[in-house]
Amino acid sequence: MRAATKAWVVWGMAVVVYMAAVFHRGSLGVASLEATNRFGVGPAALGTFTVLQLLVYAAMQVPTGLLVDRFGPRKVLVAAALLMGTGQVLFALATSYPLGLIARAVLGFGDAMTFISLLRLTSAHFSARQYSLVVSFTAALGGLGNLAATVPLTLLLNNTGWTTTFLIGGLVTAAYALVASRLKDTPDGPAPRTEAMKIRQVVLSVRESWRVPGTRLGFWVHFATMQLPAVLALLWGFPYLVGAHGLSEAVASSVLGVMVIMTIVSGPLIGAVIGRRPELRMMLVAGYLVVAVGLWAVLLTGPLPPVLLSVVFAVLSLGLPVSAIGFSIARDYNPLARVGTASGAVNVGGFFATTLAAFGIGLVLDVTDSFTYALLVSGVLTVLGTWRTAVWWRRARAEVFAAQARGEEVPVRIRQRRWDSAALSPS
């Protein structure tokens, strides 16, 4: 088998774990109304399920990067599949709110260990030129997991019930750990293991990565672009469509399905563009953010017909593949030995923002019972992320120009504009 074919086979085996992670992450979306009845909770408590899972995810990103650097992506992916399977089995059997929270936390630990491991595996098996395209394909196939968590999951819940539905998902995921154990960290076998790091060394490694303007830019790109589509897909989109727009559960699931399909289709296209023309990455980010703020305002205008909602949700979903640009930027501006840590730092951005949005929307709904007011939370976070992205875009560009002036190699050739700064300013 040729080396290129082997790389795609390894990636294909690993991406199944990521598809499972996205499925489990989004599984509460269409089950949110049933979860309210099963656990006897209100909007804020329901939001806590997702908030806790995302908090665990965000908190685990840098430790996951260090674990991947220490033990290799294969072992971490196997552990991720086992944890996700265990968490979903617990969630299937849970009848009390505290046990449900524990189950989602376990699921969050497994989910958190998946994507960074897959990124490191991709870095080892594919060239830098192929990296952006492969990451976009990864996001697209992850969308299949999200798609399975919309209409198919709704049908399964309606026909087999809560326990059977989540039990099947958990057991299948845990069993797939046997397949993941056959992965190769690198084309030559196991990844070179780094020495165990003391706490002080860990802090220094994270600090060094965080000092790189490209890492900060990647963080804020992920923060700004991922939050709005993610919070709609993971938790609040379904009850928002039913409660604020009067859609039936079947039609609401279909609107979310359109959102997922757009993510799947657009991911490889965006990856191909930024793979060939990396200098266009930030233009895509800026264009998306301008459109997203406008569409967010449209959602505040009141009940909308299903066709228009499908269009709005489809365009907003572009934020998910666009958010992968943050990883591409971090990879370019960090040495390979620190890519895992830098990618973890970037991944914190989007999930931290989504956590804030999910929790804030739940709190506002508890107080006002109005999605119009609740969606203001997402709007504020999008504007904040856009502002910080602009700040660090400028600073990252300044570093590139300074490196060019010193005669050093730079990852991307860019043209200096009148608004560029000549020097980096402190954070």
What is the CATH classification number for the domain harbouring 302? 1.20.1250.20
Tokens coding 14: 């690993």
Question: CA nearest 107: which of 63, 57, 36, 145?
Answer: 57
Residue 67 dihedral angles phi and psi, to the nearest 5°: -65, -40
Report residue 327 CA to chain centroid gap.
11
Cα–Cα dist 402/36, whole Å: 55
Q: Based on the number of CB atoms within 10 Å of its own CB, is 257 exposed (0-12), middle (13-18) or buried (19 or more)?
A: buried
Asked if residues 47 and 362 have their Cβ atoms less than 8 Å apart, the reply is: yes
One-letter amino acid for residue 399 of the chain: E
Residues paired with 189 in a beta bridge: 186
Crossing angle of helices 325-333 and 281-299, rounded to 10° = 150
- Domain of 135 in residue numbering reads as 9-185+206-405
Tokens coding 273: 């563009």
The number of beta carbons lying within 10 Å of the beta carbon of residue 249 is 16
Tokens coding 190: 């196991």
Asked if residues 223 and 349 have their Cβ atoms less than 8 Å apart, the reply is: yes
Place of tokens 């086992």: 82
What is residue 188's DSSP assignment? T
Cα–Cα dist 264/136, whole Å: 9
Q: What pLDDT, on the 0 to 100 scale, is given for residue 421?
A: 47
Write out the E strands in 151-299.
none
Residue 264 lies in a domain: yes
Cα–Cα dist 315/149, whole Å: 19
Asked if residues 154 and 248 have their Cβ atoms less than 8 Å apart, the reply is: no
Residue 308 lies in a domain: yes
Tokens coding 31: 């089950």
Cα–Cα dist 391/48, whole Å: 32
Residue 160 lies in a domain: yes
Q: What pLDDT, on the 0 to 100 scale, is given for residue 411?
A: 61
Asked if residues 368 and 360 have their Cβ atoms less than 8 Å apart, the reply is: no
Residue 293 lies in a domain: yes
Tell me the pLDDT of the chain (427 aa) as tens digits: 677 788 888 898 999 999 999 898 888 877 877 888 888 888 778 878 878 887 888 788 778 877 887 788 889 999 999 999 999 999 999 999 999 999 999 999 999 899 888 888 888 888 767 777 787 778 778 878 877 887 788 888 888 888 999 999 999 999 999 988 888 887 776 665 656 566 677 777 788 888 888 899 999 999 999 999 988 887 788 889 988 898 888 888 889 888 888 888 888 888 788 878 887 888 999 999 999 999 998 888 878 899 999 999 999 999 988 998 898 888 778 776 677 778 888 988 998 898 899 889 988 988 888 888 998 999 999 999 999 999 988 888 777 677 666 666 666 666 666 655 444 444 4
Number of domains present in the structure of the chain: 1
- Tell me the CA distances in angstroms from 237 to 10, 150, 232, 268, 415, one per residue in order: 34, 11, 4, 24, 40
Q: What pLDDT, on the 0 to 100 scale, is given for residue 307?
A: 93
Sequence-distant (6+) residues with CB within 8 A of 109 are 56, 60, 83, 87
Question: CA nearest 152: which of 224, 29, 253?
Answer: 253
The number of beta carbons lying within 10 Å of the beta carbon of residue 347 is 29
Asked if residues 61 and 330 have their Cβ atoms less than 8 Å apart, the reply is: no
Q: What pLDDT, on the 0 to 100 scale, is given for residue 168?
A: 92
Q: What pLDDT, on the 0 to 100 scale, is given for residue 427?
A: 43
State the Rg of the chain over Cα.
21
Residue 2 lies in a domain: no
Residue 412 lies in a domain: no
Residue 414 lies in a domain: no
Question: CA nearest 6: which of 261, 189, 179?
Answer: 189
Residues paired with 186 in a beta bridge: 189
- 129-157 as b/e, with b when 16 or more CB fall inside 10 Å? ebbbbbbbbbbbbbbbbbbbbbbebbebb
Residue 198 lies in a domain: no
Question: CA nearest 191: which of 76, 64, 41?
Answer: 76
- 16-53 as b/e, with b when 16 or more CB fall inside 10 Å? bbbbbbbbbbbbbbbbbebbeebbebebbbbbbbbbbb
Question: CA nearest 14: which of 85, 88, 120?
Answer: 120
One-letter amino acid for residue 6 of the chain: K
Tokens coding 270: 């965006």
First and final C-alpha spacing in the chain: 49
Q: How many residues does the chain have?
A: 427
Asked if residues 236 and 373 have their Cβ atoms less than 8 Å apart, the reply is: no
Place of tokens 């060939």: 276
